[in-house]
């Protein structure tokens, strides 16, 4: 738990200061967004695979659900620790309030936790195979909260008053597409490690094609927030960011996945994670950096 520093008196005039205050969301929120996308992406890819090609995904899906559960637990830990008062996390369950994306996300997380928790542990129970039809219904039903969990986070950021976030109309779309891309990549790696070759071919094609959609959604967000990025980053730094987020995070993985080797898949996934963390760090900290930049620019003008 990190306490916020008390607001210090500023020598800037009121007109020079941003009217808004930035919430104390930092590294834990970056990880939360990442784990959210990893978990939901993994679940959605495994679920679609299991429903469309049950034989090919029979060996992969249970492990994908377990990995999705592990990422979900990590996500929930980040969410709770980032609260000012983590012992009051259950207060989120007091109300059902669709006007608040955070409330909607909370209830979506509850539904998703139940679905992925049951699916991850169902295979461990004796006699579980007898309930195959029920399991398929649960897989399908779990897709609804999984999609809601994947998409609420972007809307949560874009429906704030924070400069940079409030202009990012496509943030929800970006995180959804990113989740699918991550999910396909993770499931592909998992299928490769488990030697489930029947699942690998389809997943490989999906992991490459979903990269294009991921890139398209990212460009839409960048188009929205470009003036703010230029305000906080030098041109050289923007090129570096582009190389990591687009080059390493999307294009390199697409190339790696198309090579068709297990080593290439692992390298592609590692590069995706690096780019994904960088992109999320940049998005989460944009209002913080804008606030610093506003102070710095005003101080320079005065000097």
Partner 1 sequence: MSRELELTEVAPLPGGESLTAEGLERLIGPFRRGAVPEPAEEMGFYTDTSVCIGCKACEVACKQWNQLPADGFTFSGNSYDNTGALSAESWRHVKFVEQFSVWEAGGGDGGAMPGRWLMMSDVCKHCVEAPCQHACPTGAIIHNEFNNVYIQPDICNGCAYCIAACPFGVITRSTLDNHAHKCTLCYDRQKDGLVPACAKACPTASIQFGPVEELRERARTRVEELRRRGVADAWLYGHEPTAGYSRLNAFYLLLDRASVYGLPEAPRNPWLSMRGDYLRAVLSVLPPLAVLITALLRGR
Candidates 30-38, 201-209, 228-236, 261-269; binding stretch for partner 1 (CB under 8 A): 201-209
What is d(CA 301, CA 303) in angstroms, rounded to the nearest whole number?
5
Q: Which of residues 204-243 bind partner 1 (CB under 8 A)?
A: 204-206, 209-210, 213, 217
Cβ neighbours of residue 76 closer than 8 Å, sequence gap 6 or more: 109, 113
Q: How far apart are the first and last CA of the chain?
A: 38
| Interacting residue with partner 1 among 3, 124, 130, 303 (CB under 8 A) | 3
3-state secondary structure of 22: coil
Q: Which of 242, 190, 170, 181 is nearest to 212 (CA)?
A: 181
CB of 253 to partner 1, least distance (A): 15
Classified as helix, coil or strand, 136 is helix
Instruction: Please tell me the count of residues contacting partner 1 according to CB under 8 A.
Output: 88
CB 123 within 8 A of CB 62: yes
**294 contacts partner 1 (rule: CB under 8 A):** no
Q: Binders of partner 1 among 61-90, rule CB under 8 A?
A: 83-90
Shortest distance, CB of residue 301 to partner 1, whole angstroms? 14
Smallest distance from the beta carbon of 270 to partner 1, in angstroms?
A: 22
Nearer to partner 1, 49 or 62 (CB): 49
Which 10-29 residues touch partner 1, going by CB under 8 A?
Answer: 10-15, 17-25
Q: Exposure pattern of 191-205 as b/e (b: 16+ CB <10 Å)?
A: bbeeebeebbebbbe
20 or 121: whose CB is closer to partner 1?
20
Stretch of residues binding partner 1 (CB under 8 A), selected from 5-13, 114-122, 230-238, 247-255: 5-13
60 binds partner 1 (CB under 8 A): no
Which residue in 117, 118, 141, 166 binds partner 1 (CB under 8 A)? 166
* Region at 83 (left for phi over 0; alpha for psi -120 to 50; beta for the rest): beta
């Amino acid at each position: 738990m990190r306490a916020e520093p008390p607001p210090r008196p500023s020598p800037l005039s009121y007109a020079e200061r941003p009217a808004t205050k930035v919430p104390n969301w930092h590294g834990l929120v970056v990880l939360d967004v990442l784990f959210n996308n990893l978990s939901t992406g993994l679940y959605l890819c495994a679920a679609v695979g299991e429903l469309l090609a049950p034989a090919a995904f029979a060996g992969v899906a249970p492990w994908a659900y377990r990995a999705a559960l592990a990422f979900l637990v990590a996500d929930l830990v980040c969410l709770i620790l980032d609260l000012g008062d983590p012992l009051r996390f259950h207060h989120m369950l007091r109300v059902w309030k669709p006007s608040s994306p955070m409330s909607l996300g909370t209830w979506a997380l509850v539904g998703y936790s139940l679905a992925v928790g049951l699916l991850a542990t169902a295979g461990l129970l004796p006699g579980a195979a007898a309930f195959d039809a029920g399991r398929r219904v649960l897989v399908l039903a779990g897709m609804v909260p999984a999609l809601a969990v994947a998409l609420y986070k972007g809307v949560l950021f874009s429906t704030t008053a924070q400069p940079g976030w409030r202009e990012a109309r496509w943030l929800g779309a970006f995180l959804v597409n990113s989740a699918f891309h991550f999910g396909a990549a993770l499931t592909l790696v998992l299928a490769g490690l488990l030697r489930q070759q029947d699942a690998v071919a389809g997943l490989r094609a999906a992991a490459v094609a979903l990269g294009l959609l991921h890139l398209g959604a990212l460009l839409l967000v960048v188009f929205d927030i470009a003036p703010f990025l230029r305000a906080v980053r030098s041109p050289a730094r923007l090129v570096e960011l582009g190389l990591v987020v687009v080059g390493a995070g999307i294009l390199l993985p697409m190339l790696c996945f198309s090579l068709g080797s297990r080593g290439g898949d692992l390298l592609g996934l590692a590069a995706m994670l690096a780019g994904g963390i960088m992109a999320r760090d940049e998005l989460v900290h944009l209002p913080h950096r804008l606030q610093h930049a506003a102070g710095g620019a005003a101080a320079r003008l005065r000097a």
